[in-house]
Chains A and B, each alone.
Chain A
Amino acid sequence: MSFVWRKRWFLMLLPLLLALTVWQIRVESDLNAFFTATDDEDSRLLSGLLQSGELSRRYLLVVEANADKPDDHTNMLANFSAQLVQGLAKLDGVEQVWPANQPPRDWIDAVTTYAPYHARLFSLNPAQDGVTLFDPLRLLAQAEGLKQALLSPQGGFVKTIAKQDPLLLSLNGFKGLQAQFAQQSPISAAGGAIILQSQPPALDSAAHQQLQSAIHATFDALNANAGGGFHLAMAGVPVFSVAAHSEISRDVTLVSVVSSVGVVLVFLLLFRSFIALHWIMMIQAAAFLVGTLATSLAFESVHSLTLALGASLIGICVDYPMHVMIHSAKHRHTPLAAVQLLWPSLFMGGLTTVVGYIALGLTGFPGFEQIAVFALFSIATSLALTRWVLPALLVNVSMQVAHLPGIAGWVAFCGRRRKLLLSVFAAAVVLSLLVLPQLRWMDDMQKLAMDMDFIKQQDQAVRAHFSSIEPGRFVLIQADDFETALQRSEAAERRLQQLKQAGVLSEYHGLFPWLVSQALQAENMQTYQQDITPQFRQAWLDALTAAGLSTEKLGTLLPASSQPLNPETVLASSVRHILSGQLLQGQQGVSFAIWLGDHDAVKLSEGLQGLAGTRYFSQKDQLDHLAAQYRDRSLRMLAIGIGIMALLIWLQQRNLRRMLLTLVPALAAVLFIFATWAVIGEEISFLHVIGLLLAISLCVDYGIFFMDNRGRDSNVTYHAIASSTLTTLASFGALGLGKTPTLPILALSVSLGVTVGFLLCPLLIPKTTK
């Protein structure tokens, strides 16, 4: 095809590509999708909890009177909070909202539905509790207590239950529920602490941003009416999610802009040609669009962090046309001749870079799978366009390349002082190997989390007004079927009761008595039938008479219901909503969570030992485990990546020495960087390793270009490599501006790697003659 038609086709297809990409793309900002792997059971569980777990969707709100306002605002707090509860309940995206010191009304209504099953669910330990519950000597006090309850503000509720369950046995199991609401801070007791259950998944930051704005607007409107005497604080996973989303959006914009501007400035500094810049940027735009489109097709959506890191690929993809342009300008070749000359090196360089990115994608870090696909298609597109379209675009462009000071001097210095420098290099290698064992590995993935100290402090301050239940740590119950899972859950709750008495944990939220296994129901029923003797019945009648209560309406202690309480029936009612945070979805078999209050993790884990299908689960531990898993995989991938690159170079060169020489600057750079980190005590995460893997894949390109030296002029080749290094530094350096810790770590690793690798090339690879 003629150059004219190549150019026409390119110019016609580029807008189509843009339109197709815009039509196809769906940008994802869910951090979970990027950071959490879902390739094993626990990871899927963690991912699901972060995504849509009940507690993850919960907002904790605290309304307080302003310190500078008169006391009457403190007194008005309950009323104000009640109005706020009513206002918030009407908002879109709100599932339910209630004061923290009161159970939601549907919970209370749900409790009354258990009365007919009282004989089947009064205790987790029926044989043991039956001794007390069915002690005839207690009945007088029990009848008096019932009378007082009927006279109390809860009289209507108690009456409904007492008619079906005169001994109020069904309430025995719900004592824990009452205790949940009894532990209150002064603000909570005054009604200032509010719980809002939202509908959108916790990490749907767009929906939550909207909801948070609506919450603030509702509060502001009420507060204005109340004279502005109150302030609102908010906590919960969605608050972090929205803040993180905002930071990531900022990072994506900043990195993309600075990276692009940096590459443009380097290009203009080198070539001083806006026409050439215009064509090169169009090639890069095409490469970026193809990468985005391919990622979008391969995955359901493209993560915004993929786009940010993808933008840094511009600095790599631009290398290929730049090499051609530098050789073309320096040697007065046509772009076509230059690209034909350099093509084997360009192809091999691109291939090794792709290998690096594919290895990155295989580290298990889900976000990097996207980046690997993005890189594969972007690099392939850039290479192809450089080979077949660039000569057509540059056909009438006059090219001159600026001289970079110091390049020739460094090459000459390495040539003159090779022996001395190699001795220094050898000593450095030995020293580096000696200090490598001091490397410190990062074992806390929280250190990779975004720095959100203000929100964390606010979160802690708000949570102090609520129950101490932690959203991230719980007892996980797993079984093949529902009945077994319930039995295991009940066994775990019995153990937790003991641990609570021993002071190992402050509280827990289990499934009993909302859901009760058939086995426990049978056990309860047996105890009930045994203990409700004729003597007991008579004692109850006497107690009722003494308390002035109706023996006619309360005296009949019915036999246990012949129909068991079935989980299907329970979960078809509003109880499903109450337990939705504890019935874990998406697992094989059945999984339940028992939520925990303050606890000693070690003692709790030990305390649960020996219980089948039961274990302590900590989101943080799981994340840390994932971090270690990623680190091991990234190290493995580093080794495999280097191996594959070596193989590819050997296949091209068919010479072991040349292959080793090509690789050695990159490997030495990585060794020195690891050693430096070991000496300065930097904690190494899998991200550091991944950054170095990328650095190797880029440095190997330099080795290939320098070794091939197809222009037969090391200075020109090194000049081209220097240009590549500058664009890589400009693009990856921009990542260092990001607040998401992932980005600066990658920026540091890649920038250090390519700089050291670049400087080592003329030292370690013998200069070839013109």
Chain B
Amino acid sequence: MKQWLFLLLLFAPILGFADDSKLTELLAHIRQTGPAQYQYQETRQLELATSPWQGQGIMLTDGNGSLVKLQLQPTRVIMAITNDSMIYWDPEQDQRHTMPIDYAGPAAAQILVFRSILQGRAEELQPNYNFVAEQHDKHWTLRLTPKAEHSDDQTAAIEISGDGDDQQRRIIIRQADGESTEYHIDKALPKQAEAYSIPQLLQEATGE
């Protein structure tokens, strides 16, 4: 049975990515669809901040390629990708944006990368990234580094890591300007999963 990359990372024993065939096998596994919900903790290192900023919330994906990141702490913010549009809604700052992903530019870059990782859209990352896999005992790391021809200021380096026998995984996205975002992700609790749905959150985000 095929698996999501995320599910693979969570449940499949990671035996190593010592060669291209293993990597290819892994990438083949990530071509999956299906709805899923995760809880996350986000830590951002901003160039202009003295201390890391931390947030937490829920991420929801579905088989149509939609991804909704609902930040619950410290304030409620919704950022979503659906049907190749990016939607942003910050009720506290009263900021609402909807734009085609192609037009969103750097603003959408991070969440696009995130979707590719969560939904196993490796083919979206392959043109821009070199994939390197490492394993030390049960701990594994998948590093995505920008290819030389794409290493402009906008392209982030990505590191996905985890242990074979626990369900928590870590994703680090490092911007070229030194800023970074680190996510700790694990499966949402059943209560959390029931509380939110993609259509409801999209409706809230678009204000319709």
Contacts and interface: CB of A to CB of B under 8 A. Distances in A.
Interface of A: 75-76, 78-79, 81-83, 85-86, 98-99, 101-102, 105, 145, 147-156, 159, 162-163, 186, 189-191, 545, 548-551, 553-554
Contacts of B82: 75
Contacts of B105: 105
Nearest to B79: A153
18 contacts: A76-B83, A83-B102, A147-B53, A148-B93, A149-B93, A150-B46, A150-B48, A153-B88, A153-B104, A156-B107, A162-B48, A163-B48, A190-B98, A191-B98, A191-B99, A550-B47, A550-B48, A554-B48
Given A153-B88, A153-B108, A156-B107, 7 more contacts: A78-B98, A81-B100, A98-B103, A148-B93, A190-B85, A191-B100, A550-B49
Contacts of A151: 44, 46, 53
Nearest to A182: B96
A101 B48 contact: no
Question: Is chain B's interface secondary structure helix, strand, loop, or mixed overall?
Answer: mixed
Given A75-B83, A148-B90, A189 B103 contact: no
Question: Is chain A's interface secondary structure helix, strand, loop, or mixed overall?
Answer: helix
B51 interface: yes
B104 to A, nearest CB: 7
A550 B50 contact: yes
Contacts of B101: 82
A80 to B, nearest CB: 9
Interface string B64-97: 0000000000010001001111101010110101
Given A75-B83, A105-B105, A82 B47 contact: no
A86 B100 CA distance: 11
A153 B100 contact: no
A189 B98 contact: yes
Contacts of B90: 148, 152
B151 interface: no
B106 interface: yes
B126 interface: no
Contacts of A81: 100
B99 A99 contact: yes
Contacts of A186: 208
Given A78-B85, A191-B85, A150 B49 contact: yes
Interface of B: 44, 46-51, 53, 75, 79, 82-86, 88, 90, 92-93, 95, 97-108, 206, 208
Contacts of A147: 46, 49, 53
Contacts of B106: 156
Nearest to B82: A75
A153 B49 CA distance: 16
B102 A86 contact: yes
A159 B48 contact: yes
Nearest to A190: B98
- Specify which of B99, B108, B206 lies most central, judged by the most chain A CB atoms within 10 Å of its CB: B99
A101 B53 contact: no
Given A153-B79, A156-B107, A549 B50 contact: yes
- Specify which of A78, A85, A150, A189 lies most central, judged by the most chain B CB atoms within 10 Å of its CB: A78
Contacts of B50: 545, 548-551
A545 B49 CA distance: 9
A79 B46 CA distance: 31
A99 B101 CA distance: 12
B84 A82 contact: yes
Given A79-B85, A152-B88, A549 B48 contact: yes
5 nearest A-B residue pairs (beta carbon): A82-B100, A153-B107, A79-B84, A78-B85, A82-B102
A81 B98 CA distance: 13
Contacts of B83: 75-76, 78-79
A636 to B, nearest CB: 58
- Specify which of A76, A156, A163 lies most central, judged by the most chain B CB atoms within 10 Å of its CB: A156
Given A190-B98, A548-B53, A550-B49, A82 B79 contact: no
Contacts of A548: 49-51, 53
Nearest to A108: B105
A548 B49 CA distance: 6
